[in-house]
Amino acid sequence: MALGRGKKKQTRRERKAMGEHLEDLLSMRSETLTDLGQMTVEMSRDGRFDKTLLAAKAEEAVRIDGEADLILRGLEEKLTLDELEDLAKSGDSSG
């Protein structure tokens, strides 16, 4: 099935839920990047870097970015939540 071209259309409720979730993700992203920056500064001040901890926090930011990209695609292409879920399961967030 071609995404966004099925019989079902994105509802207002779905669109609103996606928009709210995107806002939440962007807030989480901002908090995560702030935490990452603070951790880096503190580690620099101490003269010891915990690469594992920094990598884990960076990976968290990457995961949030990926999910936000997927939600944004859903909004742009007017996908249903079911179509968006199928994309997430397939790992395809590219346009």
Segment 56-69, tens digit of pLDDT: 999 999 999 999 99
Tokens encoding 62: 């990457």
pTM: predicted TM-score of the whole model, two decimal places: 0.83
Length, in residues, of the chain = 95
Which pLDDT score, from 0 to 100, does residue 33 have? Answer: 98
Distance CA 82, CA 87 (A): 9
pLDDT level of residue 5 (50, 70, 90 thresholds): low
Mean of pLDDT over the chain: 91
- Residue pointed to by tokens 């966004």: 4
Of 55, 27, 59, the residue nearest 43 (C-alpha): 55
- Asked if residue 64 lies in contact with residue 57, where contact means CB atoms within 8 angstroms, the answer is no
